Amino acid sequence: MLPLLALIALVGIAGTLAAPFVAAAPAPARVHLTFAIGIAPLILGALGYFVPVLTRSAAPPPRVLAAPFAALAAGVVAVAYFAAPAAWPLAYLAAAVIELAAVGAVLAWMARRARASIGAPHPCVRWYLAAAACLAAALLAVLVMPYAPAQYVALKRLHLHLNLLGFVGLTALGTLQVLVPTAAGAADPRAAARLDADLRWALAGTVLVAAGAAWLPLAAAVGLFFWLSLAIRIARDWFTLYPGRLLAWHGAPPSLGAALAGFTVTLVLGALHGGGTLDPRDAVLAFILAFLLPLVTGALTYLAPVWLRPGAQTPWHESVRAALGHYAGLRAGLFVAGGILAGFGSAAGTALAALGLALFVVQGVRAVALMRP
Ligand code: HEM
């Protein structure tokens, strides 16, 4: 299921990159191709994989396994609405309700698993609970829109920041702090304490940026400071522990490290667009190119072999990983550079990122060839 959701996410991102060439693709349709069709179902599916690993418990029940597909259906409805709003004027509300039911099922299940775990649950599980709560709050903001038309723009800003920093950011930064040491093959002794201490700052940062972007710009500046300082602390610890692995040409770590760099760059671009220097839509595109692309391709490089053949790690897993991670450092450089250029409104940014994505597709085809018995 997860390889399929990852493939859909990459197709969604490719659709977002191609959408400017399609006349009938307004900006919200373009953005929701990546986020609502691609990323939200992938994240909900990934939570169903990571939470049992972190709480050492059984596989999720069927309703949690079905949640990513309900989210996918919601995403399709949302994109159809944005492509032709007059054809089905209330469809976005239906999409929000379906997505809310999906995330509600995952949230309730994660809370039960966290409560049932022996001893304190892994601190990353609390990051996941906070992330899912942010998605739920972002969807509630959409449901309030028809009742508060004067607040439409504020609610949209609330929705998008709760989603990008809260739902995607908290899931990703929580997971990266577990995944980078695993992929680098050496423990990070500070990871658990950092996850434990930083969640309150990450969550406060998200709420301040979201509410600040909606109503009070000064609060957004404080929230941005919280997020930037914790991203810089993670980068400092990783560069002390894994400098050679993060700056390598090949493997998952350079791509995962680039995702953190891309996230940090997007925070700075966010400050510039908040200050009116850049177009906010370019900042959303930069988030996709500089952060999501190295994140998804890096995570797939390490995890796809485990997802495809769970159980004991064999030379087969290593060879598929090596194929997917070939020149991942170069690929990640193209994504981050592309994101920065896109953030400043240059079409060359999308071209660079598309080149990186094409490289990953070629490597994916080589990896599939290795999968034949
Ligand atoms: C499927 C359920 C969803 C619904 C019904 C929904 C609804 C909306 C609505 C009504 C807007 C305002 C559009 C406009 O007037 O420009 C919006 C904007 C936005 N949403 Fe969602 N959304 C959903 C899921 C998501 C998810 C999961 C994410 C990210 C993880 C996301 C990210 C965004 C972003 C970035 C914008 C700003 C788009 C722009 O400025 O062009 N949405 N959404």
Tell which one of 163, 171, 295 to mutate to probe ligand 1, the residue whose CB is within 8 A of the most ligand atoms.
163
- Using only C-alpha atoms, the chain has a radius of gyration, in whole angstroms, of 19
Q: Does the beta carbon of 28 sit less than 6 angstroms from any atom of ligand 1?
A: yes
**Which has more confidence, 114 or 371?**
114
- Mean pLDDT throughout 251-269? 97
User: Looking at residues 23-48, what average pLDDT do you find?
Assistant: 92
Nearest CA to ligand 1 atom 16: 28
Q: Which tens digits make up the pLDDT trace of 71-110?
A: 999 999 999 999 999 999 999 999 999 999 999 999 999 9
Q: Is the CB of 74 under 6 A from ligand 1?
A: yes
Task: Check whether 18 has a pLDDT greater than 90.
Answer: no
Q: For 137-172, write each residue's pLDDT tens digit.
A: 999 999 999 999 999 999 999 999 999 999 999 999
Query: Is the CA virtual torsion 105, 108, 111, 115 positive or negative?
Result: negative
- Ligand 1 centroid–CA 111 distance in Å is 26
What pLDDT is recorded for position 280? 85
Q: Using the 8-state DSSP alphabet, how is residue 313 labeled?
A: -
Closest CA to 307 of 296, 293, 292, 317: 317
DSSP structural state of residue 163: I
Please give the Cα distance from 56 to 253 (Å, whole number): 25
* Residue range 269-279: mean pLDDT, rounded: 83
Least confident window among 2-11, 33-42, 193-202, 269-278: 269-278
9 falls in which pLDDT band (50, 70, 90)?
very high
The pTM of the full predicted model, rounded to 2 decimals, is 0.96
pLDDT for 24 beyond 90: no
Q: For residues 125 and 192, is the Cβ–Cβ distance under 8 A?
A: no
How much is the pLDDT for 181?
A: 96
Distance 248 CA to ligand 1 centre (A): 36
Q: Please give the Cα distance from 228 to 222 (Å, whole number).
A: 10
- For ligand 1, whether the C-beta of 137 sits within 6 Å is no
Best CA proximity match to 296, nearest among 179, 160, 138, 161: 179
For the record, the structure tokens of 332 come out as: 């990640």
Q: What is the pLDDT of residue 372?
A: 67
The whole-number average pLDDT for the span 321-327 is 94
Residue 40 Cβ < 6 Å to ligand 1: yes
What is the reported pLDDT for 373?
59
Q: Which protein residue's CA is at the shortest distance from atom 34 of ligand 1?
A: 160
How many CB atoms lie under 10 A from the CB of residue 101? Answer: 15
19 Cα: distance to centroid of ligand 1 (angstroms): 16
Helices (H), 276-372: 280-286, 293-308, 315-324, 328-343, 347-371
